[in-house]
Structure 1
Amino acid sequence: MPPSQLKRLKASLREQGITRPQKSKKLKQKNQKNDNADERAKKNTALADIREGLNPFEFKAPARPKKFDYVTNRPQDGKKVLGRPGVTKSHGEETRKKTLLPEMNRRNKVGGILDRRIGENDPTMSLDDKMMARFTREQQRKKGGNVFDLEEAEDEVELTHGGRSLRFDEDGDAGEDYDAASVEGSIDRETRDYLRRKRRRNSNEDEGDGAETEDDQPERKKSKAEVMKEVIAKSKLHKYERQQQKEDDDDLREELDKDLPDVLAALRGHLSKPKSPDPEPHKEAPKNDFSINPERAALLAGKAREEADREYDKRVRQMMYDQRSKPTERTKTDEEKAKEEADKLKELEEKRTRRMRGEPESEPVDERQAQDAEGDLQSVPDDAAEFGLSSVPQRSRPEGVEDEDDFLMDDDLIASGSEADISNSSDEASGDDTMGMDDDDEFLKDVLPDTIETGAAMKGVLSIGADSNTSKLAYTYPCPRSHQGLLEVLKDVSPQDIPIVVQRIRALYHAGLHAENKSKLADFACTLVDHISYISDQKPAAPLTVIETLIRHIHSLSRSYPEQIATRFRHHLKQLQASSEPTPGNLTILTAIGSIYPTSDHFHQVVTPAITLMARWLGLTTPNSVKHVAIGAYIGALCIHYQRLSKRYIPELVRYTLLALKSPHATPDLVSAHVKNILSMADLWTGKSAFYEIFSPETIAVLKDLKQTKALQRLQVLLNQSKLTRRPLTLHNHRPLPIKTSIPKFEESFDPNKHYDPDKERSEAARLRKEYKREKKGALRELRKDANFIARERLREKREKDRAYEEKYRRLVASIQEEEGREKNVYEREKRARKRKG
């Protein structure tokens, strides 16, 4: 038998430390003095827990154990608490007192004060808005009338639709007009205009009469016949307007049909000739017949038959004398073209030497020039161009070239595989056995003076035509196979004429002319690589245009001799690696590499060592002089040019640029150059995820110290954009892929009280039915609780009324009894008094 409630209470009090052994009076007084609020709070909490534990109706537990025993991975308590009925009931009671009880009290009650002032119940309106709205309403009331009244006494407004009054005429004439218009569908235009004017005149008269009489007569309700008459009149009016619109469209269509032949003739590109103002009576213009040729129709227009026949015969005779096309010349092979150009150069050289010795010239007439003279007598060749006395003035800058450093490049000056050749790779044909020399034919044509157009940029070389300077040059030169031999050839040649000499050497020693020319041109190309470095180191250095032109020649030769030129470039890079101090010649070599080879390759035999050397110099050098600051600015620009497509990050470049900007040797021009490099780097690496760490905060501080406002603003904008594009790392968000299994499905959290239906639709329907049943039971439960609450409240009100009635009744009875006792006492006293008198 379980212990009694009293024993359980005593045991709980002892466990919580509330009841202790009895203490002496001194200890009790001492404990009372040391007692604090925390201990009292703990004691009250413990008592509340004990009180709840002793109440068996405070918790709701399952009524009976599980029907089936099963094992699960979830922890199972001995007796699971399902809820607290007392707490739930008290919450429901409080909620009903707040919501349902006020509704009961307001039932069947009328009255109350509602504040209907403007904006009083609108929290969105400010005090000024409320005052303004109330003032506006007050002014409208003072003015009188309604703001939407369209019929004010001082200014009457008549409602119209489409310019017509909304009133319908009741005159019989108007109805007759409508009847006539609707019945007679084929009346002429004059009759329609007359009827329209009459209807407008009648409506104006009715409006004038109505203004005088309508004010005097009161409005009356129209009869059914009048309403139907107005409806019929309106229908006839609409029908007449539709008919009139249709007739107007037909007239317009007829006018357009009249101009249709001219429109067709204009579309075919042959407009008919305008007619003469006074045509002859016996000549009739031919009709527009589109079955014949438009030219013949135009020829016959306005002419007699005999004159037309004479014109036709004349044109037939002209066609008989037309010259027939002639067959073109046979297409020459590459070797024939190269041999012809070389022979032409040798012939010009012999003529030049004869002129220098003063010997008479006896040259045969060129067959091509004779044919040109027969074909066109006006095209006379200018022989003065060979002596530098050309009558055509040369332009200082060729057409299409905006700057002296720009070149109009053709395909033969672009090496295969380079970045400039990417856009033209789809248009180039596959090479043959001549090793890519098939494109040099167009290049060799520009060497001859009679084929060079004056003032044009030919194949990337500026103004190499025959002028006063180039006429003194020889047309034939030996092919130098070493740099010393090239210096011997160019000993008496000015720097501006070096590109012309190089071009003529390439033409004379074309690979298709002799078997040994291939090796000669390969050595000559390597010599050009040495020469661009040599002329850059000289003081004064050669013009940049000459260096640029020679780089273009190397670019063109690198297609035919890639291995030899690449080996020569690597030789210069090894010298730079050994010296570790770049000279102007080394910088020229690095610039040529960037313009000849593709710098975006992952690995390249020439470009990769060049980038490595530049990065090594930037990483190991400190800008302690003006020369180093200037070289660093140029190498930085080269690095940016190399990475314009691949956009690889070069940390040494950022480091050296910041050191150069902080260096005391940096001049204003060099500072601007390095700042420009920083902006170029920012534009190049703006898509990098580490962009914010690359340029912040040290770069911002340096630009602030240098007061580079524009660059600082641009860099800050890019940094803000890079910071906004960052997102925290997340795992891949993809749908989990199901695993195909052949075993029954295993439910980890299986519950025998639940139903696991494989049919999804049936399971969803069962779930909805269960949810509906649960909601229905909950709604019925709440309705019953509401009914019980209402009954309790009504019973409480009835008891209060009864108690008040009883109190009032007792009070009245007491007052009556008091009054009767008082009157009885008066009566007794009066009786005793009379008895004494009697």
Structure 2
Amino acid sequence: MVSNKPKTNSGGSALKRLKKSLQSAGVVGQQAKASRSKKDRKKGRPTEKVDLDKKLSHIRGEFNPFETKVQRTKFEILGRKMKGTQGKPTLSKQVGEENRKKTLLLEMKNKHRRGGIIDKRFGESNPHLTPEEKMLERFTREKQKSSRGSMFNLDDDDEDLSLTHYGQSLATMDDFDDAGLALSDEDEGKQMDKNIVSKLHFGGFEENEPEEERHKSKHEIMKEIIAKSKMHKAERQAAKAEDEELRENLDDELNDIRDLLETKPVRKPLPSQTALFRKTESENVQSNDLEDYSEYDSALMELASDRRAMATDRTKTEEEIALEEKEKLEKAERARKRRMEGLDSEDEDEDDHKKGRKKRKNAPQADDLDDDYLEELEDEVNNLGKGLTLEDIQNGASEEEEEEDDEEEEEDEEDEEEEETDNEDIEGSDDEVPEFGADDEDDMNEFGTTGMIKKIKKSSTKTTTEKKREIPYTFECPTSHDEFLTILDGLEIEDVIVVTQRIRVLYHVKLNPENKGKLSTFLGVLVDHVAYIASTVSPMPIDVLEKLSAHIFDISQQVPEASAEVFTDKLRKMQVEMGKKMKFNTGSSWPDVEDLMILRNIGQVFSTSDLNHPVGTPAMLFICHALSQCRIQTEVDMGRGLFLTQILYEYQKVSKRFIPESLNFLYKNLVILAPQETFKGNIPGYFPLDKPLYMSVADMEGKDLQTISPVRLEELSTEMENDDNRLSLVQGTLRQLEKYLQLYASTPALKEIFESLLEIIEQLTLLNWHQDIKASRLERQIKFCIEKRTKTPLRMQQHRPVPIAQHLPKFEKAYSVDRHYDPDHERSQLHKLESQVKKERKGALRELRKDNQFMAREKAKERKEKDEEYNKMVKGVMHLLEGEQSEMKQLEREKAKK
């Protein structure tokens, strides 16, 4: 049996359910109308439409549950509201698609457009408005805009828009007023005025008729103003000319008046005036007691009597100074050549044309040639050499002419001082050498003399036929060492300083851009010449080498890149040569004297304290290689090694880096020079030692020597097997060890470094050495430094350990999983910003992907439309061609039948 009851679960058809939902929401039916009063229904609410849209959207979502996506949670938590549990992907996708069609699609279509005018006039984009309505609406908006601007204007004028002429409204003007034809409100019998008759009927024909006043035009007014201004200007110039003429007349008469005042005798005061003057003087004295201005008056007189300072020239630039020095040298060279040819100097020719100048001393003639003629001519005529002294100034002042004025004398003296001081700068700059330390010279005398040299001693006496060649003032910049030796041919060894200085002045970097390349080449020549002097000249000219080293330093500052290339090339050649000698065992492999001088110049020119230097680091590595790999075969090798240790000491004087090769070499020297029975086969310390080679000192006490002389260049040769030289080597080794001990005094590893040396020194002090060898002093210094740098062993901390702080746990009453409880507010804000940035970034990327997909769909759609259009066109053409072809074939068949 079937029951007639309706099913409770079925809600009827979709239409019935929709009507029921609309009625329950109050959208349709009597319930919606009854809920409002007549007044409200008639007036309407402002939010009525919005509320209706919300209700309809809600009903639409409930009516189609497939459009709503629900994300169910695993557990339900009371009081917790989660966002994003429900969503409508279809609706959001549709809204995004529509927005992209409004914005992105329009941009795609207008992408390749150029130019265009955007019409922003009101109503232009509204197709429902007629042209009359558009004009009316535009006029209304314009009036509203003008009235809005004059809302707070106090001048209540009815006429907002009116035409003007010269600032006056045309509405208030009448064209008939000028002619006297103005209309009047009252007609007085309609009679003509007297003015009308006189002007229009019978007037205007007389020549002498007086002109009536009329308004002038703007052009006439401006002409009148210009004429008046010119008239006033001419009057002022005339008055100024009169005043100037009067002033000149008064100036002409002033001298006569002054002469009269000066020659007028002083009249004695009358007796009555004398008493009056005394009275006033006594009053002045009383007033001066109150206020004493004597100091002020004296200071005022001093200021008035002081001479005004003379204006000085501006400070010259380096380029100007170099150019002046070059010009002076060229002028001196021309004067030297003229003297050589027997002609007058250029200075004398120029001085003949100058007036009011001091007379110069005449140059000696042929009969006045003395022994010192060359020196006088070089110092006095060319003003080069000694400079201006106090005696020269006094003698020069006494030889001036009496007819000259004081101002001319002062100018002459100043000019002479400038010439003398400038020339003094040229010649005297040779002595201005940067000091590389007083110890350098002693070290060079002591250790720099270790090597084989050619004995070329300078002859102290010269024959009468040999004459010293005069030094020219200009030279060609030498490009090789042979050319430089050609320039120095016939000159003394000390003259190389003057020649070098003049070459530097002539080819200064600031004078010509090409001089930089010339000085770069000349730098290599100077380095070769320093090595040449050190290896060929005996005794070694220390002063000359120091000054040449100073010139090398100055040129290196001007061309640093070229200097680095020169010295690195020298180091490369030295390394190759030393490697060949060590490989084939051809004699001594130690660097010779030339190489030692180059290594010493590197330490003077470049900064060797840098951790990495393009020149200093390779030089230091080369020295360490030589000290560790080269074998000591003779006393000469030991002397060269001592010089290398001195160079390393100069390199590391600032940075104080530990270099074990130098100390190992010094320890090895002490072992080799000590007698064989000193260590009895048990050599203390840990340092490399070659095959047993002993150069023992037989006479350690040196009974025949009062003092031990340091090792010098001229004392070293291939045969040095004597006790005197060996004692010098022992003394030099001990001195080097003292220097390194002071250098490494602050090193934490001092005890480990010098502990082995202390054992060696203790064995050597047991022997009877010469009194100059102070091994005991070195032993005391080592012991003192080791005791001072004694290390304390590591221990555990003495204080009680600090317990870990214990804190009670912090509980939150209203704890939430979604909330961060960070005590640092700034950090929490930072995390919050980071999460927001991350969220926005993900959203932006998602939108960009959707935009790309939309653009791809639109491009595909556009491409599809184009392809369809193209295919349609091709099909039409093919259809036409096929029809024509069929017709042609049909005609052919008909012709064939006939």
With normalisation by structure 2, the TM-score equals: 0.38
More RCO (CA 8 Å, sep 6+): 2
